[in-house]
Amino acid sequence: MSTEPSAARAETATDDRPSVPFTKGHGTGNDFVLVADPDGNAQLDAERVARVADRHQGVGADGVIRAVRSVHLPEGEAVLAEHPEAEWFMDYRNGDGSIAEMCGNGVRVFVHFLVEKGLVDLAPGQSLTIGTRAGAKTVTRYEGGYSIDMGPWRFLEPELAEDAASDAMVLTAGLPDPRPALSVSLGNPHTVVPLQSMAELADLDLTRAPGVDPEPPHGTNVEFVAAHEPLIHEGVGRVRMRVHERGVGETQSCGTGACAVAVAMRAWAGPEGSDSWLVEVPGGVLGIDFVRAADGEEHVVLAGPAELVFDGELIA
Ligand SMILES: N[C@@H](CCC[C@H](N)C(=O)O)C(=O)O
Could you report the per-residue pLDDT of 131-156, keeping only the tens digit for each?
Answer: 999 999 999 999 999 999 999 999 98
Among the CATH numbers 3.10.310.10, 3.20.20.140, 3.40.50.720, 2.40.430.10, which is that of 154-289? 3.10.310.10
From 250, 256, 288, 302, mutation site for ligand 1 pocket: most ligand atoms within 8 A of C-beta: 256
Q: Do residues 204 and 241 lie in contact, with contact meaning Cβ atoms separated by under 8 Å?
A: no
pTM for the whole structure: 0.93
Please tell me if the CB atom of residue 247 comes closer than 6 angstroms to any atom of ligand 1: yes
In sequence order, the 6+-apart residues with CB closer than 8 A to the CB of 79 are 70, 86, 89, 131, 132, 135, 136
Ligand 1 proximity of 301 Cβ (cutoff 6 Å):
no
Active site residues: 103, 254
Q: Where are the domains of the chain?
A: 12-151+305-314, 154-289
User: Which atom from ligand 1 is nearest to the alpha carbon of 256?
Assistant: 13
pLDDT tens figures, 168-199: 777 777 788 889 999 999 999 999 999 999 99
Q: 100 C-alpha to center of ligand 1: Å?
A: 7
Which ipTM did the prediction report?
0.99
Taking the domain 12-151+305-314, which CATH number applies? 3.10.310.10
- φ/ψ region of 217 (left if φ > 0, alpha if ψ in -120 to 50, else beta) reads alpha
Categorize the per-residue pLDDT at 80 as very low, low, confident or very high, splitting at 50, 70 and 90: very high
